[in-house]
Amino acid sequence: MKSYETIVVGGGPAGMMAAITLGSKGVKTLILDENDELGGQLVKQTHKFFGDHAHYASVRGFEIAQKLQEKIFQDTNIEVETSATVIGIYPNKMVVYAKNGKEFKATYEKLLISTGAMEKQLPFINSDLPGVYGAGAVQTLMNEYGVMPGRRFLIIGSGNIGLILAYQLIQAGAEVRGIVEALGKIGGYAVHAKKIKRLGVPIFLKHTIVRAIGNESVLGAVIAKVDNNFNIIPGTEVEKVADTICVSVGLTPLSELAEQAGCKVEYIPQLGGYVPVRNERMQTSNPDVFIAGDLSSIEEATTAMIEGKIAALEMSRNFIKIAANKKNIENEINDEIKTLALFRSGPKSAKIRTGLEKFGINIKHVPKIESYGVQIGPTGKLRAIVDCTEEIPCNSCEAACSFGAIHIGENLNSTPVVDYDKCTGCATCVTACPGLAIHMLKEDLENSTALVGIPYELLPLPEKGQKMWALDEDGNYVCDSIVKRVVKYPNKTNIVYIEVPIEFSRKVLSVSFPKKESPFVCRCEEITLDKIERVVDSGITDFEELKRLTRVTMGPCGGKNCKLVVLGILSRKTGVPISKLSHGTSRPPVKPVEFSLFMKGSDPT
Amino acid sequence: MISQASVVIIGGGIIGTAIAFNLAKLGVKDVSVFEKSYISSGSTGRCGGGIRQQWTSPMNVRLAMRSVKLFERFKLDVGMDIEYYQGGYLLLAYTEKEVEDFSENVKMQRGEGLDVVLLTKRQIAQKFPFMNLEGVKGGTWCPTDAHANPQIANIAYAMAIKQMGVDLNTYTTVEGIDTQGGKIVGVQTNKGYVKTNIVINAAGGFSHEVGLMAGVDIPTYSERHQILVTESINHVLDPMVISFRNNYYVRQTMHGSFVMGQSDKKPAKGNDLGHTIEFLEEMAPKMVHDFPFMNHLHIVRQWSGAYDLSPDAQPIIDESRSVSRYIFAVGFSGHGFMLAPAVGEAVAEMVVYGRSKTTDISNLGMSRFASKIEKEHNVV
Ligand SMILES: Cc1cc2nc3c(=O)[nH]c(=O)nc-3n(C[C@H](O)[C@H](O)[C@H](O)COP(=O)(O)OP(=O)(O)OC[C@H]3O[C@@H](n4cnc5c(N)ncnc54)[C@H](O)[C@@H]3O)c2cc1C
Ligand SMILES: Cc1cc2nc3c(=O)[nH]c(=O)nc-3n(C[C@H](O)[C@H](O)[C@H](O)COP(=O)(O)OP(=O)(O)OC[C@H]3O[C@@H](n4cnc5c(N)ncnc54)[C@H](O)[C@@H]3O)c2cc1C
Ligand code: SF4
Ligand code: SF4
């Protein structure tokens, strides 16, 4: 049995950062993880991480893990045990773990538990059919083992994990038939949601899965609308074809080891379920035991790392003898607490803040969040268009721009502002943004065209001169385009520059290879380009008649998405410029509203 | 646009195009149809699409029954799927008196050969378990009543007549009818003049104005009626349901959306087609009351159209006494779509043979207004 000053259980970002911090303070540390390499959730993540640039934001998850690992292996104060499953925390400060079929014991003076979280289950009929997976299992199969569990996926849950999984599946060549979300709004970041919507993945809000269809394995699923109490609204059931259903309805902390170590736990739904009670410095009710990361609250890699650092600093005070050094550590802790508070000051962290208040941890004194809409910038200049209006903790673009053209400021939840006098059109920000929320634009008024530079992370890359489909924010076909330039970047976020008619300069946000099947022009009503062209060819050249025959623009969106595209097709076919075509009448309601809206009595006039 | 036509039809709605279709079928193809806007821009493109045979006047019943026969063959005859669905019509009664009236109607309608029955409240509840029948006493049920997509039907006729060689002109407004000594000699449009001796007024909400163009005072006027459509859900409702007391009609389209409307308390006169928030506020409570599942259904769009009304809410199909060969098929109120196939056939026969052969429409002439009129009761 070996003795250590500290032991870290769980080698995700929280545990790794803690070990690095402890090692750097000269504390003899053992870090244990059940997987064959350190990294936790990071290992499965192929996307660029969000967060604070100072904490590896804009770096892909598995690369963050590699960077942290290097630091750990360089430090002789840290011992690493992988493939080591901790089976219990025993009296007399003893950790017992299993490795290679053998039992090992180690003792600590201070313990950090950073075991992360596990996926929540969702009960539905036939959820035991082969083909129903948790999102994490699919990521492990796909990103670690290179195995695709299916071809056509349906994802349940629109949190960041569900959204990112959808993106990763598409990158791996699979088809994502949709994301089902019971709430009325998307759970994850808007930039993640937009990224997959542009690839044509529909998100069904206020829907849930009723059952999986199939006898031997999944053939599809029945989904239905739910009311505000999450009850299924009868009659709204529809079938979706899919061979794999991924459930991603949230994570819940793995608090068992902490409980065994004598830490008090409480049920705090905002933090993810049963979590150990702890103070601002990550110390639990057992003064020798600390926690960090998803175990303390389901959050992000950045917060996990900061928490790991805070815990480690606090733990290291125990082993430091010189008063001046103690004082320095005190300052470091306070700095990290401030950074953490800043990170959590945005609207997306409201739940976490409420949860933390239950522990008496209040986040206050945070600089104001500044929010701005999407700026268009000066027409005709090659420039960055930043479509990032949700207050999320991220500042990668600001850090990436070496011309100081993007400003976010002290509170990284503020939304970016572009100074177009400074923007040189270098496009560095486009490839740095983890949300793929930035694209390049330059109008050519003389030729009535626009050059749109779109971040592109799929393979194969298109080539210069190739004809591609230009798509809108929902992945709907807008018009044909020609590839003008393809710029490759080492971080694999490449940029494809396409030329489109100037009318569509603000509509085009995505690009795809032309497919054999005709593209959807109107996704609400599932109407393809081919269908519209056939009707036009049969002699219907009036927009109003075309609309009535095909239902195009008549769906719930009221044509907001497809009207201009349809007019573009009519214009191309008839030679009449769009400005000369009649474009129909707008009728209320501008957005679909429930009958119930009118049941409560109207505003007296 | 041709310079000379055997027949000029004013109005490219369902009535005008149905007449042109039947004329072409009878071999009269040098016909000009003028539509001042696009096809289905008038009441037709705005209507509920209901096809009902349960009327209180025997003439309406007969005409509607003939129409249903023709709607059943529409795809074959005209060449397009118009989402025709024979899901029946359910009319709801709320008082003993209404039940009594309904049973009188049923007797008459059965006499005309219509398959229609009286239903008890129990029977209705069994058929439509999702409805809240509070206050309902009974109803009538005709399984061969139907509904279809009126816009597609209108465009289907338009495409068919174009193929058959009819001269169809959209965005062309008729500005005058040229007469000499009680005879028609031509028609003036904003795009040119056509020589003709026969004119058919199928101008829907503008029938009165178009009548005056030849100096004929047709007793019609228009009134705004509002309507809305919801998002689509799975098919649950087969029939068009009408409640005269609660003042609504509703049907589910083949596409899954629900189309519904009412008569406003004080309907706006004329062809100025706006919409009001009161319409939604009045529709919501009664629809949710009778169809509780609609509470969370989304309203996607509201709009309105004109009812071209006659004094007895029945169509006027006749030839003018003062201007020979000036024929009108107007005043269809809230039921011109469903009658169109039969009316098209009848009017084409009037043009070619001097009188309608297939269906007797003699009661629908202008002369009826000289005596006391019998108003159609079954209207929303
Ligand atoms: C799909 C997805 C996308 C994400 N995207 C982002 C992002 O863009 N930006 C961001 O900041 N965050 C992101 N996150 C969140 C981030 O990955 C987590 O918040 C972070 O990994 C939590 O770190 P952790 O160290 O607390 O836990 P984990 O990373 O979960 O690590 C815990 C480790 O402990 C090990 N362990 C558990 N129990 C035992 C035991 N008994 N014995 C030994 N070892 C044990 C586990 O195997 C695991 O390796 C994402 C998460 C997912 C799933
Ligand atoms: C809300 C609503 C619901 C309804 N529901 C039903 C129902 O469920 N079932 C049913 O059977 N009926 C229903 N109706 C009635 C039905 O819509 C009409 O009776 C029918 O469409 C009349 O057809 P039409 O061709 O006579 O008129 P329209 O469709 O109005 O056609 C007349 C055309 O003439 C054109 N025109 C007018 N003046 C001129 C001119 N000077 N020059 C050139 N063109 C001209 C107009 O632009 C118009 O397109 C409803 C009506 C409304 C408003
Ligand atoms: S394009 Fe270049 S200069 Fe312009 S904002 Fe982006 S990084 Fe800065
Ligand atoms: S635009 Fe900037 S702040 Fe927004 S997601 Fe991209 S990098 Fe982050």
Residue nearest (by alpha carbon) to ligand 4 atom 6 = A433
The yes-or-no answer to whether B7-48+151-220+312-370 and B85-142+221-306 have a common fold is: no
Q: How far apart are CA B375 and CA B56, in angstroms?
A: 9
A248-264 average pLDDT score: 92
Q: Are B295 and A599 inside 8 Å of each other by CB?
A: yes
Q: Are A539 and B38 inside 8 Å of each other by CB?
A: no
pLDDT of residue B372: 67
Residues 6+ apart with CB under 8 A from B63: B339, B342, B343, B346, B359, B361
Q: Are A595 and B288 inside 8 Å of each other by CB?
A: yes
Sign of the C-alpha dihedral, residues A119, A122, A128, A130? negative
| Gap from CA of A176 to ligand 4 centroid (Å) | 25
A416 lines ligand 4 (CB under 6 A): yes
- Letter for the amino acid at A478? V
Residue nearest (by alpha carbon) to ligand 2 atom 48 = B42
Residue B118, token pair as written in the block: 């009286």
Nearest-by-CA chain B residue for A591 = B300
A155 lines ligand 3 (CB under 6 A): no
* Residue B224 Cα, gap to closest chain A Cα (Å): 16
DSSP track, A434-448: TT--EEEEEEETTTT
B254 touching chain A per CB within 8 A: no
Q: Are B299 and A538 inside 8 Å of each other by CB?
A: no
Query: Would you say A501 and A544 are in contact if contact means Cβ atoms under 8 Å apart?
Result: no
* Residue B163 Cα, gap to closest chain A Cα (Å): 10
Residues 6+ apart with CB under 8 A from A298: A117, A250, A251, A252, A253, A271, A272
Does domain A520-580 fall under CATH 3.40.50.10420? My reply is no
Candidates 3.40.50.1000, 3.40.50.720, 3.90.950.10, 3.50.50.60; correct CATH number of A132-249? 3.50.50.60
Helix A13-24 / helix A61-74 crossing angle, nearest 10 deg: 30
Where in chain B are the domains? 7-48+151-220+312-370, 85-142+221-306
pLDDT of residue A560: 74
For residue A605, is pLDDT > 70? Answer: no
Where in chain A are the domains? 2-117+252-357, 132-249, 383-512, 520-580
Q: Which residue stretches of chain B have pLDDT < 70?
A: 372-374
Determine how β-strand B31-34 pairs with β-strand B7-10.
Answer: parallel
For residue A365, is pLDDT > 60? Answer: no
pLDDT of residue A563: 85
For residue A604, is pLDDT > 60? Answer: no
Helix A529-537 / helix A543-550 crossing angle, nearest 10 deg: 120
Nearest-by-CA chain B residue for A543 = B38
Give chain A positions within 8 Å (CB) of B293.
233-235
Query: Would you say B87 and B146 are in contact if contact means Cβ atoms under 8 Å apart?
Result: yes
Ranking A136-150, A240-254, A286-300, B212-226 by mean pLDDT, the lowest is: A136-150
Query: What CATH number labels B85-142+221-306?
Result: 3.30.9.10
* Closest of B178, B147, B168, B6 to residue B85, by C-alpha: B147
Q: How many CB pairs under 8 A join A and B?
A: 96
Q: Is A575 exposed, middle or buried (0-12, 13-18, 19+ CB in 10 A)?
A: exposed
Residues 6+ apart with CB under 8 A from B307: B43, B205, B222, B223, B224, B225, B267, B333, B334
The yes-or-no answer to whether A2-117+252-357 and A132-249 have a common fold is: yes
| Gap from CA of A116 to ligand 1 centroid (Å) | 5
What backbone phi and psi angles, to 5 degrees, belong to B327? -105, 140
* Exposure on the CB side of residue B242, measured as CA atoms within 13 A: 25
pLDDT of residue A209: 96
For residue A165, is pLDDT > 60? Answer: yes
* Residue B322 Cα, gap to closest chain A Cα (Å): 37
Bond into A287 cis (ω within 30): no
Does domain B7-48+151-220+312-370 fall under CATH 3.50.50.60? My reply is yes
For residue A316, is pLDDT > 90? Answer: yes
- Distances in Å between the Cα of A322 and the Cα atoms of A35, A312, A314, A327, A333 are 37, 17, 15, 9, 17
In which residue are the tokens 């508070």 written?
Answer: A341
For residue A321, is pLDDT > 90? Answer: no
The ipTM is 0.88
pLDDT of residue A588: 84
Q: Shortest CB distance from B284 goes to which of A237, A558, A598?
A: A598
Q: Is B137 exposed, middle or buried (0-12, 13-18, 19+ CB in 10 A)?
A: middle
Q: Are A598 and B234 inside 8 Å of each other by CB?
A: no
DSSP track, A167-225: HHHHHTT-EEEEEE-SSSS-SS-HHHHHHHHTTT--EETTEEEEEEE-SSS--EEEEEE
Pocket test for ligand 1, best of A38, A115, A298, A299 (most atoms within 8 A of CB): A115
Using one digit for the tens of pLDDT, what is the confidence trace for A119-158?
Answer: 988 889 998 899 999 999 999 899 888 899 999 999 999 9
Using one digit for the tens of pLDDT, what is the confidence trace for A322-340?
Answer: 888 989 999 999 999 999 9
User: 3-state DSSP call for residue B300?
Assistant: strand
Question: Binning pLDDT at 50, 70 and 90, where does residue A62 land?
Answer: very high
Question: Binning pLDDT at 50, 70 and 90, where does residue A562 land?
Answer: confident
Task: Pick the more confident residue, B250 or A585.
Answer: B250
Classify domain A2-117+252-357 at the CATH class level.
alpha beta
DSSP track, A457-490: --SSPP-TT-EEEEE-TTS-EEEEEEEEEEE--T
Q: Which ligand is nearest to the CA of A142?
A: 1
Q: How far apart are CA A29 and CA A79, in angstroms?
A: 6
Ranking A200-209, A366-375, A560-569, B83-92 by mean pLDDT, the lowest is: A366-375
B171 secondary structure, DSSP code: S
pLDDT of residue A561: 72
Question: Binning pLDDT at 50, 70 and 90, where does residue A351 land?
Answer: very high
* Closest of A439, A279, A419 to residue A358, by C-alpha: A279
Pocket of ligand 2 (CB under 6 A): B 10-16, 34-37, 41-44, 46-50, 173-174, 202-206, 210, 225, 227, 261, 305-307, 332, 334-338
* Closest of B357, B343, B356 to residue B16, by C-alpha: B343
Instruction: Please name every residue paired with B90 in a beta bridge, in sequence order, or none if there are none.
Output: B141, B241
Residues 6+ apart with CB under 8 A from B234: A235, A236, A237, A238, B256
Q: Which ligand is nearest to the CA of A58?
A: 4
Q: Are B295 and A596 inside 8 Å of each other by CB?
A: yes
A539-560 average pLDDT score: 88
Question: Binning pLDDT at 50, 70 and 90, where does residue A603 land?
Answer: low
For residue A453, is pLDDT > 90? Answer: yes
Residue nearest (by alpha carbon) to ligand 4 atom 5 = A435
Query: Would you say A300 and A351 are in contact if contact means Cβ atoms under 8 Å apart?
Result: no
Using one digit for the tens of pLDDT, what is the confidence trace for B68-104?
Answer: 999 999 999 999 999 999 999 999 999 999 999 999 9
A421-430 average pLDDT score: 96
Using one digit for the tens of pLDDT, what is the confidence trace for A74-125?
Answer: 999 999 999 999 988 988 999 999 899 888 999 999 999 999 999 988 889 9
